[in-house]
Structure 1
Amino acid sequence: MIDWRQDRIGSALRGENPTVLATLPGGFAVLGDVQWLPGYCVLLADDPTVERLSDLPRARRLAYLESMDRLAGAVERACKAADPAFRRVNIEILGNTDPFLHAHVWPRYDWEPPEIVGKPVWLYPAERWRDPATALGPRHDGLRAAITRELSR
């Protein structure tokens, strides 16, 4: 059996991806594997063959963008309620590494290092992506539930 991390979209389609928060019209809202910025989410397209936003026909492209906006709004409301240092949400569609359409939704906080807080998340050290201390786990269940509630509003 393939690990869900090796087939994120396929595992979501099969109901086997444990990070899925909700199925939206444009794809799957998932909680990020790492949570050094609590509430980090990703919107996965619901078709693994779609590599970029421009691959989608206009109606599906608009559904994807609306779903991205809906996920960003849910992350903003949930993170604002959970942490008074919540600052804003950054949204990025990069496509530089993974060959499938996905959008990153990054909550940003006033407690972040001053040399990074106003810059792209990708300037954080690469170790952040592998740090077991911030890996997704049961301690994130409250924020997971809050974002899921916000998505269902």
Structure 2
Amino acid sequence: MNDEWKKDRVGAAQRGENPMVLARMPSGYACIGDTQFLPGYCVLNSDSRADHLSDLPLKERTQFLIDMSVLGEAIMQACAPLRVNYSIYGNTDHYVHAHVTPRYAWEDDSAVKLPHWRYPLDSWSRPDLAYSDAQHGELRERIRAALVELMAANPS
């Protein structure tokens, strides 16, 4: 797969070229994570080109946070983790996006108490942990289906 779309994930989603998109949400695009060392890891990319959450007008900011929580609920339904963590950083990618990360009972005690980005660096780049349709397609579909159902039941 050509990775050119990664240079502009939001633009690629708007053009229908981002293969990680699960669903269009009112504030942006719910995407399955490039890596799946924590199965069900997703990212919500804002449709806005704002750099910071506080740059969004209050109504758009509120919608983004609601969408983030709905994505988390879909992950809870599809993956049955112990909990879901939500984080907004913006240190590397300078556009509003939120990491929605399931956490599991099978995680090592030292890892579960830390943010997901503190996992060993190779967790983010190991080919066997990278998203693939063959390995994660069923999981992706469960999350997508739960997300679509939740959005239909609770229109914004």
Asked if these proteins are the same fold (TM beyond 0.5), I'd say yes
CA distance in structure 1 between the partners assigned to 2:129 and 2:42 by the alignment:
14
Q: What's the TM-score once normalised by structure 1's chain length?
A: 0.92
1:109 aligns with 2:110: no
Provide the rounded CA distance (Å) in 1 between the counterparts of 2:77 and 2:148.
12
The structure 1 segments of at least 4 consecutive aligned residues displaced by more than 6 Å after TM superposition are none
**What residue identity is the alignment partner of 1:141?**
G
Task: For 2:84 and 2:34, locate their aligned partners in 1 and report how far apart those are by CA, in whole Å.
Answer: 18
Query: Does the alignment pair 1:92 with 2:93?
Result: no
Q: 2:43 & 2:105 partners in 1: Cα distance?
A: 22
Equivalence for 2:152:
none
1:128 deviates by 0.8
Counterpart residue number, 1:17? 18
Q: Name 1:58's counterpart in structure 2.
A: 58
Matched, 1:30 2:31: yes
- Residue 83 of structure 1: aligned partner: none
Query: What secondary structure is seen at the aligned counterpart in 1 of 2:84?
Result: strand
- Aligned equivalents of 2:31 and 2:7: distance in 1? 15
Query: 1: CA distance between counterparts of 2:104 and 2:94?
Result: 29
* Post-superposition offset of 1:2: 7.6
Pairwise CA RMSD: 1.2
- The unaligned stretches of length 5 or more in structure 2 are 150-156
* Cα distance in structure 2, aligned partners of 1:54 and 1:65: 12
Distance 2:15 2:22 in 1: 14
1:126 aligns with 2:127: no
How many positions carry a matched residue from both structures? 147
Structure 1: unaligned runs, 5 residues or longer: 81-85
Is 1:149 matched up with 2:145? yes
Aligned CA distance change for structure 1 residues 2 and 144 (closer, same or farther; 3 Å): closer
**Letter paired with 1:55:** D
